[in-house]
Amino acid sequence: MNQKYRIRPLAWALALLVMFSSAAWAQRTILRPGKLLDVKTGKLLTGQALVLEGGRVTSVGAASEIKPAATDKIIDLPQATVLPGLIDAHTHLTANTNFGYDQLAISTPREALIGARNARITLEAGFTTVRNVGAGGYSDVALRDAINEGDVPGPRMLVSGPALGITGGHCDNNLLPYDYHATELGVADGVEGVQHKVREVIKYGADVVKFCATGGVLSKGDDPQAAQYTLEEMKALVADAHRLGRKVAAHAHGSQGILWASEAGVDSIEHGSYINDEDIAVMKKNGTYLVPTLYLADWLAENMQKIGLPEMYAKKMREIVPIVHKNLGHAFASGVKVAFGTDAAVYPHGLNAHEFAVYVRMGMTPLQAIQTATLNAADLLGWADKVGSLEAGHWADIIAVDGDPLQDITTLQRVKFVMKGGEVVKNDYAAGK
């Protein structure tokens, strides 16, 4: 047989395979909810349908104007309210509620495996995007890559790798005596030191740079109010990160550290416990986001004894909590930009949405609270054209709940449907739950 005729059947088979694969990829999904929350306007719309294709939203509009084709996949959620997948801008997926010396027993490979479990839990809780700000040994880089490759289920991740910090500061390993010479991977001192460390974490996969501008609460031997890096060090750190295309998150409790970090140009202040009027004015002038992590105080207050929180941490926690609620409530009322963050790992993953009720309790409307985890967080991450609202061109990251979250914000603690990139990862409605 002529060689060209022997090849032809194979060519036809490959052509058919490509044709059927393309048809499967191009299959539309039409999602028809009972109600759709427009997070930009706060309107709760009825009679809407979302057309999804290739992992993205292609259109949102009146269901009566969308004519399904025979090949379309239809998802009807007549009792549900849908809204964009939620965003948590401050998580630690590769960690659990281990405090004090228990942390020393966790290896980097173990962290990554812990992260795989927590990633699934977080996704199923309705958080389709997270910013992971601090992990040991680049375990969050490995987790992000595994999720992106489809090896494990989880939210979209922007990760920092090890957080930068001064020798002996909140982001160092201060639990062991001198004999062990224990130092965390992110420790760097001086202008040249922080420049080198920024470049290093980016080399090994960091999407965002996180550093400790002040001491912390769940750490030994440091003061949450004390600024750690100097203003010059912060400016050098931020300048290198921004030049290399990375945003910067600053852990900062104390007012001096908050002020210097905002002046240095960070994109967000994490925690902000001792924020004052001077800090607020500078943050508003510079457009710096505040990422409060408030529910953890409620959870720790209820579970401090149960989990055996070491007294060196518990003492600082008791001192800071009353101050946090007063100061951050004032910051909210003063118009500081707020993006949703939880510090999940301080309390169990999956409880992230409990943060919303604290924001409402402190003066936000339910819509404002929801916007912190959608529009605002998307803007902070630099992904406003991809996530945070349901509109054409955005990733098809969608959640659904019973009831109206504008009337009862706690409905977001009971997410019943989750879609990421057009793929359903949870559907309690289909399971009859």
Domain boundaries, given as residue ranges, for the chain: 27-84+389-427, 86-381
Identify the bridge partners of residue 417 per DSSP, sorted by sequence position: 400, 427
Instruction: Give the whole-angstrom CA distance, residue 137 versus residue 309.
Output: 24
DSSP-assigned letter for residue 352: T
* Gap between the Cα atoms of 210 and 248, Å rounded: 6
Share of the chain above pLDDT 70, in %: 94
pLDDT digits 0-9 by tens, 93-119: 999 988 877 878 888 999 999 999 999
Q: Do 100 and 175 contact (CB within 8 A), yes or no?
A: yes
Q: How far apart are CA 94 and CA 139, in angstroms?
A: 7
Q: Which two tokens mark 307?
A: 């989990």
**Number of neighbours of residue 343 by Cβ within 10 angstroms:** 26
Number of helices (H), then strands (E), in the chain: 12, 15
Catalytic position from the list 88, 343, 397, 426: 343
Is 210 labeled as catalytic in the residue annotation?
A: yes
pLDDT tens, residue by residue, 318-363: 888 889 999 999 999 999 999 999 999 999 999 999 999 999 999 9
| Span 18-56, pLDDT tens digits | 444 444 456 899 999 999 999 999 999 999 999 999 999
For the chain, helix, strand, coil in percent to 5 are 40, 20, 40
Indicate the SS3 state at residue 167: coil
Annotated catalytic residue 284: no
Least confident of 67-76, 155-164, 308-317, 387-396: 308-317
**Tally of residues, the chain:** 433
CB 290 within 8 A of CB 339: yes
pLDDT of the residue at 138? 97
| DSSP secondary structure letter of residue 286 | H
Question: Which member of 35, 197, 210, 316 is catalytic?
Answer: 210
CATH superfamily of 86-381: Metal-dependent hydrolases (3.20.20.140)
Query: pLDDT by residue (tens digit) across 166-200?
Result: 999 999 898 889 988 889 899 999 999 999 999 99
Reading the block at residue 433, the tokens are: 């739950």
Pairing of strands 423-427, 417-420: antiparallel
**Largest alpha-carbon pair distance within the chain?**
87
Q: Tell me whether domains 27-84+389-427 and 86-381 share a fold.
A: no
Among residues 185, 171, 256, 177, which one has the least CA distance to residue 218? 171
**Residue 97 CB neighbour total at 10 angstroms:** 16
The dotted CATH code for 27-84+389-427 is 2.30.40.10
